[in-house]
Chain A
Amino acid sequence: MTARFRARYGASPLHLLAHLAALALAAFALIQIAERPAAVRIALWLGASVVLHDLVLLPFYSVLDRAGRRAAGRGVNYVRVPALVAALLGLVYFPVISGQGAPVFRNVSGVRYEGYLARWLLVSAALFAISGALYLLRGRSST
């Protein structure tokens, strides 16, 4: 009985039961969203999340990394690591760095948010400078 199920389904009955339980709970949540006026927009953002990550962000940084490897040779990690950290900070803190939330923030908090772009650039400069210093100290001997 189980063997026949396995042959037809491709996994054990437990696999199916676990998925049905999880999908039913997920469906409950998605249906609550579907009944809201902004349902289409939420669905769009959910769909865009996976597409933008898998088909835009990941290929983009992979191509960039490949180009960096070609250009920098064996010293690549001295560029790669600070560039990655700076890019992560830039991506995650994009709203404050670019001032996207500034009008709302000023309205609710009564103060301005300022200088984020400058501080991000300074932090990035420090990251590259530290990496450059490390390269001078120990990287050159091994390349």
Chain B
Amino acid sequence: MTPPGPFRPGFWRSPLRGPWLTAALGTVLLALVTVVALTGFLSHAAYQPDLRGNAIVDPAADLPLVFDWPTGPSWLYALTQGLHVNVGLVAIPFLLAKLWSVIPRLFAWPPVSSPAQAIERLAITLLVSSAVFEFVTGVMNIQYWYAFGFNFVVAHYYGAIVFVASLAVHVAIKMPVAVRAYRERGVLRPLRAGLAGTRPEPSDPHGGLAPVAPAEPTLSRRGLFATVGAGSAALLVANVGETIGGPLRRLSPLAPRRQVIGSGPNDFQVNKTAAAARVTREMTGPGYELVLRGGPRELRLSREALLALPQHAARLPIACVEGWTTSQDWAGVRLADLARRAGVPRPASAFVRSLQPAGVLSKASLNGDQVSDPDAMLALRVNGADLSPDHGYPARIIVPALPGVHNTKWVASIDFARA
């Protein structure tokens, strides 16, 4: 006997639900989450967790999917991470619509009719919970609401693995159903009908998506897609300015990083202030010396000595994992020059330590290509002025295409590792 309420087949009455609608929403959603997942795993690789001090996810418990992150084009990480965050936002309305389209299945009765169905429902539960979890934690993280009480990077990373695994099997199992729906109804034909021509899909007692007792339509399928698309467009426009940067930043009304700070050379977005990092004036004062290790003997250079070395200039972006970007004109000493002076002309990697006393980002390693890139530098000045304390005075790393936080500020020492 079927229990009452949502378990009754006649309860779900929307005339738009059916295999075609779910297939169409699912196809769009699949394209979007593929971009989000790929760029997410690329970001994990961009942090080079295989190098000393970089791993946030324990390397012993990680998938072996790491490669040397390139240094060009310089906007590479701004692009991949901008896509991750903004396409993620665009996907949210499609995820909600997709889940709405299949909600009758949650109340299918009997809940389990075969071992195959039981295992499939387990996988679907993992898929829905990991999908919602990934979007909720990601959206909270870009807005600095760390209410979850667990390490975001670790949870978001392993959550993504659960999501991708359960999504892959779901796509494999449901692909024939979607193909059949497209074959029977046409891929785009249902979108041509206006409200007057909108008919329910034929009800199928086994599929359980199309209604057995459809109500009168109040919206066409085209209208539903337009509405979901409008939601996506709104979420995108509200945020994307912080990814593009420059004057467009202000045009996104709800972007967390939309502030234009001022017109001075150091007036651009700060990821972490000197005060928050507990870097004091005593640490960065006249007694400051950069320590270079790895060669025959340790080399110590004051800021004056660094300024006396050949200076290189380049316009490079800082691209944050949260999806915002800011490009500035940097000047300083090439990392390759520092490596040569330290006595390690072609290092395999470089371990950079900050004056910042504690924290995950008080240290970061660069790979060999990142050290030898001609635009990679220890920046001393920005936009024609000395770095401000918040931007890393006396010296900070700037490497093209590097994730923002690995451009270590307040550099205390660099250990070059021999090849």
Contact = CB atoms under 8 A, between A and B. Distances in A.
A28 B227 CA distance: 39
Given A92-B139, A120-B253, A111 B168 contact: no
A21 B150 contact: no
B155 interface: yes
Contacts of A113: 256, 259
A30 interface: yes
A93 B231 CA distance: 13
Contacts of A49: 128-133, 136
Contacts, number: 198
Given A36-B154, A41-B150, A84 B231 contact: yes
Given A19-B169, A41-B150, A101 B144 contact: yes
Interface string A45-56: 111011011100
Contacts of A105: 143-144, 256
Contact of B172 (A18, A102, A110): A18
Given A47-B129, A49-B133, A58-B99, A69 B218 contact: yes
Contact of B273 (A15, A42, A89, A108): A108
Interface string B110-123: 00011111011011
Contacts of B58: 32
Interface of A: 8-11, 15-16, 18-19, 21-23, 25-26, 28-30, 32-33, 35-36, 38, 41-42, 45-47, 49-50, 52-54, 58, 69, 74, 76-77, 80-81, 84-85, 88-89, 92-93, 95-97, 100-102, 104-105, 107-113, 116, 119-120, 122-123
Nearest to B134: A49
Contacts of A36: 150-151, 154
Interface string B258-273: 0101000000011111
B150 A50 contact: no
Interface string B373-388: 0000000000000000
Contacts of B168: 22
Interface string B213-229: 00000110001000100
Contacts of B122: 23
22 contacts: A15-B116, A19-B120, A21-B169, A25-B161, A30-B158, A32-B61, A33-B155, A58-B99, A80-B219, A88-B231, A88-B234, A89-B234, A92-B139, A96-B254, A100-B145, A100-B147, A101-B146, A105-B144, A105-B256, A109-B271, A111-B270, A112-B259
Contact of B123 (A22, A101, A116): A22
A51 B239 CA distance: 28
B106 interface: yes
Contact of B256 (A16, A47, A101): A101
B254 A33 contact: no
Where chain B touches its partner, the secondary structure class is helix
Given A32-B158, A47-B129, A89 B61 contact: no
A101 B218 contact: no
A76 B218 contact: yes
Interface string B382-405: 000000001000000000000000
Contacts of B92: 88, 92
Interface in B148-175: 148-151, 154-155, 158-159, 161-162, 165-166, 168-169, 172-173
Where chain A touches its partner, the secondary structure class is helix
B137 interface: yes
Interface in B255-302: 256-257, 259, 261, 269-273, 275-276
A26 B238 contact: no
Contact of B150 (A25, A42, A69): A42
A69 B218 CA distance: 8
Nearest to B257: A109
Nearest to B167: A22
Contacts of B100: 58
A89 B227 contact: no
Contacts of B155: 33, 38, 42, 45
Contacts of A18: 169, 172-173
A23 B144 contact: no
A110 B270 CA distance: 7
A116 B159 CA distance: 30
A45 B145 contact: no
A88 B227 contact: no
Contacts of A116: 253-254
Contacts of B275: 107, 110
B148 A45 contact: yes
Contact of A45 (B133, B270, B273): B133
Nearest to A15: B116
A42 B161 CA distance: 14
B18 to A, nearest CB: 17
A107 B162 contact: no
Nearest to B103: A58
A11 B114 contact: yes
Given A16-B116, A100-B143, A88 B158 contact: no
